[in-house]
Amino acid sequence: MPSIGERGAPVKGGPRISLVDAGKCGAYDPPAMGGIGRLEVFAVLVSVAGIALCARGSWRLLQALRARFTYGAPYRSGTIQDRLLGLLLEIPVLLLGAALAFLALAQADFQPSETTVRVGQIEARRSGWAKVSVRLAPDPFYPSGRLLQGEIVGARWAVAGDFISWDRSVKWIGLKDGHRVRYLIGANDTTGTTPSNRIERTLLDPLPTAAARLLSLTRFIPFLKVRSETSSWFPIVDRQVMVLYAIGPGYLAETASESGGPGPAPAPPEMTQSPPAY
């Protein structure tokens, strides 16, 4: 089976499986994500235009008010109403600029995932009875640079995150599909029949303020869709190192090294003690 590094096109659909071939991981180069994008340029231009228009409209309205209430100053009837209406028509430009700036700020908290993109390296270690400690070292192009770590209980575990996708009709302004890793999840069985309300969840990375506000407003933004996606399930082993990728519809892990085969951890002390003598 080819590795992620050997793939030339984004992965679309299909089962989420782990690829055990890390020999050519270095062949994959994530795209550069820094700098100012189209959305930021639009936000700046529209905001500057809105500020200039509103400042001009406010000044003209103040001049009309001063002329109206200054004895002997030239004033034409209806000037105040006309300039107030003009100011009201200019305010939406400023609001549009503020909305674009908010979208740019919130989008910066998600890693673009329109193609296969490397998220980071995962190191998982067995930390106890049916328990695993996970550390995720993000890729330099991931929006958060800090080490993400957490512990989850269960016979198997997976990585979950939030994925945002924009309607094609609005992508021309610079909006991009993206993702952000959020949780570790764990299940107590290996059969895949665990009810969703019995799955353990550990917060791995809280959302920044702008991104959290964007997700809370999803129902009011018809051209934005938000969904939660996961990787495939991983068994608990003594130590496992994987490279995590976002592939659009979810996460894919490529195993780099593994020690200690899957299986139940040693029984807890109370289960291994000899029964009392009678």
**pLDDT value of residue 192:** 59
Residue 137's pLDDT band, with cuts at 50, 70 and 90, is: very high
What would the two tokens of residue 105 be? 């700020």
What would the two tokens of residue 277 be? 């003598």
Burial of 113 (0-12, 13-18, 19+ CB in 10 A): buried
d(CA 69, CA 62): 11
Residue 106's pLDDT band, with cuts at 50, 70 and 90, is: very high
**Residues 17, 23, 126: CA angle, nearest 5 degrees:** 60
- Reply yes or no on whether the pLDDT at 32 is more than 70: no
What would the two tokens of residue 21 be? 């071939």
What would the two tokens of residue 258 be? 């593994």
**pLDDT value of residue 196:** 62
Residue 47's pLDDT band, with cuts at 50, 70 and 90, is: very high
**pLDDT value of residue 22:** 35
Type of residue numbered 32: A
pTM of structure: 0.74
Residue with tokens 């695993």: 132
Q: In whole angstroms, how far apart are CA 164 and each of 17, 27, 157, 194, 214? A: 22, 27, 23, 27, 10
**pLDDT value of residue 64:** 86
Residue 153 has phi, psi (to 5 degrees) of: -105, 140
Q: H/E element holding 105? A: helix 79-107
236-273 tens-digit pLDDT: 888 999 999 998 778 999 888 777 665 544 444 443 33
Q: What is the CA radius of gyration of the chain?
A: 27
